[in-house]
Amino acid sequence: MSSHAQTKPATTIPPKGAWQKLGGPLGTGLHYGVLIFFLFLTFFIFALMISLSLRRSILIYLEFWSWPWPLYWDNYQTAMTDLIPSAVRTLVVTGVSILGILIISSLAAYAFARIQFPGREVLFYLVLSVMMIPGVILLTPHFILANDLNLRGSLWGLVIFYVAGGLPFGMFLITTFFRSQPAEIFEAARIDGASEWQSLIRIALPLAFPILVTVAIMNFVGIYSDFIWPSLMLPQDQQTIMLALEQYNPVSNEFSTRPDLGKQTAGYIVATLPQLIVFSVGMKYFIKGVTSGAVKA
Q: Going by C-beta distance under 8 Å and a sequence separation of 6 or more, which residues neighbour residue 268?
A: 49, 53, 245
Whether residue 270 contacts residue 79, with contact meaning beta carbons closer than 8 Å, is answered with yes
On whether the CB atoms of residues 238 and 232 are closer than 8 A, the answer is no
Helices and strands in the chain, H and E counts = 13, 0
pLDDT in tens, 135-149: 888 899 999 999 999
* Position 23 pLDDT exceeds 70: no
Whether the CB-CB separation of 245 and 271 falls below 8 Å is answered with: yes
Mean pLDDT of 40-49: 88
Interval 279-287 mean pLDDT: 78
Looking at the predicted structure, is the pLDDT value of residue 193 above 90? no
pLDDT given at position 294: 44
Q: Are 87 and 271 in contact (CB under 8 A)?
A: yes
pLDDT (tens digit per residue) in 203-247: 899 988 889 999 999 999 999 999 999 999 998 888 999 999 988
Residue at 75: amino acid letter:
N
Query: How high is the pLDDT of residue 290?
Result: 63
pLDDT of residue 57: 83
Rg of the chain over Cα atoms, rounded to whole angstroms, equals 28
**C-beta separation of 91 from 274 below 8 A:** yes
Mean pLDDT of 255-264: 80
Q: How many CB atoms lie within 10 A of CB 184?
A: 8
Q: What is the mean pLDDT of residues 59-69?
A: 84
State how far the alpha carbon of 90 is from the alpha carbons of 79, 225, 247, 275, in Å: 16, 9, 16, 12
Mean pLDDT of 260-282: 89
Under the banding of pLDDT at 50, 70 and 90, the label for residue 20 is low
Three-state SS annotation for 61-86:
HHCCCCCCCCCCCHHHHHHHHHHHHH
Query: Which residues, including other chains, have CB under 8 Å from residue 20's CB and lie 6 or more apart?
Result: none
What's the pLDDT at 3?
47
Q: Determine the pLDDT at residue 30.
A: 85
Indicate if the pLDDT at residue 181 is higher than 50: yes
14: left (phi over 0), alpha (psi -120 to 50) or beta: beta
Residue 17: predicted pLDDT: 52
Instruction: Determine contact, residues 49/269, Cβ cutoff 8 Å.
Output: yes
- Amino acid at the residue 215: V
48 in Cβ contact with 64 (< 8 Å): no
Is residue 250 predicted with pLDDT exceeding 80? yes
DSSP H helices, 115-239, are 120-130, 139-148, 156-180, 183-191, 196-199, 205-207, 209-224, 228-233
